Amino acid sequence: MKKPELLAPAGNLEKLKMALIYGADAVYMSGKAFGLRAFSDNFEQEELKQGIDFAHRLGKKTYITINIFPHNDDLTDLPDYIKSVAAMGADGIIVSDLGVFRIARQVAPALPIHISTQANSTNWSTVEFWQELGASRVVLARELSLADIRLIREKVDLDLEAFVHGAMCMSYSGRCLISNYLTGRDANRGECAQPCRWKYHLMEESRPGVYLPVLEDERGTYIFNSKDLCLLNHLPELIESGLNSFKIEGRMKSVHYVATVVKVYREAIDSYVSSPANFHVKQDWLEELQKVSHREYTTGFYFNKTSEQDQIYTSSSYIQSHDFVGLVKDYNPATGMAVIEQRNNMKVGEEIEIMQPGQETFIQSINAMFDADGTPIEVAPHPQQIVTMPVSKPVVPYAMLRRPERWQGRP
């Protein structure tokens, strides 16, 4: 059985490192231009090189997104950008547009090209077409069922990639014009304002200014607001379908989200491949996915056509059960003291969890904290404040501290 690649989002250099350390085989990321997540932090040129080198030191891969649908003025700097990405040693680029594909083949013929989900590849003939042009991988459209994917796998022999977790778009493989129409921000050039998450009412032509709720709900109606994709429960079917890469959405999500989701899918994939007959989805994995920021989960189009049950009508807000409060920078085994970079207000007396790559999460009470001068403190209120604290078990750099949301007075 060929183990599928686990591909994670990297919205900045810190998220890239977290994704790879927590178990991703590869990451996808973008420079400051040409990617479809213009409002993610993204990477300066030097940061791209740092990220590529970091991944390669771990024996892992990096793919650069160049998946906008460019207008003429976008093409001016594109050839030099593609050449620079190739020179840095990127393992591939992800494109949507035939013009970008053509330029990449001209200026960097040895650079592998992956076809983005934005290209709407929904059948085996389209995938075969991209293969004949020289693409090495196709990221399949999100509208496909598992049966569709299996048939495509039977017909073609290049790499196939599909999303297995994360936010869904209300439009056809992300080809949406609502943002452009309502705000002037072009989703197909990376500037989506996410109007599908806004609340809407109806207005009847002869009664201008009278706004009628689509559903009787005082909180509004979110008629385009999709649930998030989660296919953890169906991992065996996905692996057996012959997909080469499992993709996690979320370049604009937090480091907590990236590390947690990657860790869960890493453990699940490894567990299944090592012993398919004994595999079962652990309750701990499902609980982990509830701890990060997400919407209610759905299986999308994989097993049936979507219905009203795959939308959320009452709120566009994310839900999560835990807050990320600190990141381990160092640990002294002789003293049992950990050096922590604060990421959210922490207090002595709180009970937290410590999650770290490749190990089980454990509960830790904050019995004491000390500032950078060694002075005892009761609270760490300052963003990225460096503190030390005793921990009951050894921890490693990049271990994450998180706290149930009830500690902040929320239900």
Q: Identify whether 200 is part of a domain.
A: no
Instruction: State percent of the chain over pLDDT 90.
Output: 68
Write the DSSP assignment of 314-365 as a string of letters: S----B-SEEEEEEEEEEETTTTEEEEEESS-EETT-EEEEE-TTS--EEEE
What is the rounded average pLDDT of the residues 157-179?
A: 80
Q: For residue 223, what pLDDT is reported?
A: 62
What is the rounded average pLDDT of the residues 67-81?
A: 91
- Give the pair of three-digit tokens for residue 286: 């499902």
Q: Which one has a higher pLDDT value, 125 or 181?
A: 125
Which tens digit of pLDDT belongs to each residue from 127-153?
A: 999 999 999 999 999 889 999 999 999
Which tens digit of pLDDT belongs to each residue from 206-259?
A: 777 776 666 544 445 566 677 889 999 999 999 999 999 999 998 888 999 999
User: For residue 143, which amino acid is it?
Assistant: E
Q: Same domain for 285 and 339?
A: no
Q: Which one has a higher pLDDT value, 48 or 318?
A: 48
Cα gap 62→406, rounded to integer Å? 38
Last residue of a domain, one of 265, 288, 310: 310
Q: Same domain for 281 and 338?
A: no
Span of 21-25, 69-73, 387-391 with lowest mean pLDDT: 69-73
CB 327 within 8 A of CB 405: no
Span of 100-104, 116-120, 271-275, 399-403 with lowest mean pLDDT: 116-120
Q: Identify whether 210 is part of a domain.
A: no
- CA dist list (Å): 112 to 13, 82, 88, 115, 198: 22, 11, 13, 10, 38
Residue 22's nearest CA partner among 300, 202, 288 is 288
Q: Identify whether 192 is part of a domain.
A: no
Predicted confidence band of residue 408 (pLDDT cuts 50, 70, 90): very low
Alpha-helical segments (H) within 63-217: 78-88, 98-107, 124-133, 146-155, 178-183
Q: Same domain for 13 and 148?
A: yes
Cα gap 52→92, rounded to integer Å? 11
Per the structure, how many domains does the chain have?
2
Q: For residue 317, what pLDDT is reported?
A: 67
* Beta strand extents in 226-348 (DSSP E only): 228-230, 245-248, 297-298, 322-332, 337-342, 346-347
Backbone phi, then psi, for 173, in 5-degree steps? 50, 35
Q: Identify whether 15 is part of a domain.
A: yes
CATH number at residue 20: 3.20.20.70
190 SS3 class:
coil
Q: Same domain for 53 and 150?
A: yes
Q: Using alpha carbons only, what angle is made at residue 121 by residues 115 and 122, rounded to the nearest 5 degrees? A: 160
Q: Same domain for 155 and 288?
A: yes
pLDDT of 95 over the 90 cut: yes
Q: Identify whether 202 is part of a domain.
A: no
Span of 241-255, 301-315, 319-333, 362-376 with lowest mean pLDDT: 301-315
Q: Identify whether 265 is part of a domain.
A: yes
Beta-strand relationship, 26-29 and 61-66: parallel
Q: For residue 407, what pLDDT is reported?
A: 42
289 SS3 class:
helix
What is the rounded average pLDDT of the residues 60-80?
A: 93
Q: Same domain for 232 and 151?
A: yes
Q: Using alpha carbons only, what angle is made at residue 56 by residues 50 and 59, rounded to the nearest 5 degrees? A: 150
Which tens digit of pLDDT belongs to each residue from 173-212?
A: 666 667 776 777 776 666 777 776 666 666 777 777 776 6
Q: Identify whether 60 is part of a domain.
A: yes
- Give the pair of three-digit tokens for residue 97: 């547009």
Cα gap 32→40, rounded to integer Å? 9
Q: Same domain for 254 and 348?
A: no
Instruction: State percent of the chain over pLDDT 70.
Output: 85
| 165 contact partners, CB below 8 Å, separation of at least 6 | 228, 229, 230, 231, 232, 248, 249, 261, 265, 289
| 185 contact partners, CB below 8 Å, separation of at least 6 | 179, 191, 192, 193
Backbone phi, then psi, for 343, in 5-degree steps? -125, -5
Which tens digit of pLDDT belongs to each residue from 386-406?
A: 999 999 999 999 999 999 975
pLDDT of 319 over the 90 cut: no
**Highest mean predicted confidence (pLDDT) among 22-36, 105-119, 175-189:** 105-119
Q: Same domain for 349 and 288?
A: no
Q: For residue 216, what pLDDT is reported?
A: 43
pLDDT of 42 over the 60 cut: yes
Q: Same domain for 255 and 130?
A: yes
Q: Same domain for 294 and 340?
A: no
Last residue of a domain, one of 288, 310, 332: 310
Cα gap 4→403, rounded to integer Å? 32
Mean pLDDT of the chain: 88
Cα gap 174→158, rounded to integer Å? 23
What is the rounded average pLDDT of the residues 19-42?
A: 83
Q: Using alpha carbons only, what angle is made at residue 92 by residues 87 and 95, rounded to the nearest 5 degrees? A: 115
- Give the pair of three-digit tokens for residue 237: 């079917």
Q: Same domain for 104 and 233?
A: yes
Span of 73-77, 105-109, 376-380 with lowest mean pLDDT: 73-77
Q: Identify whether 124 is part of a domain.
A: yes
Q: For residue 175, what pLDDT is reported?
A: 65
Q: Same domain for 244 and 382?
A: no
CATH number at residue 360: 2.40.30.10
Domain that holds residue 378: 322-408
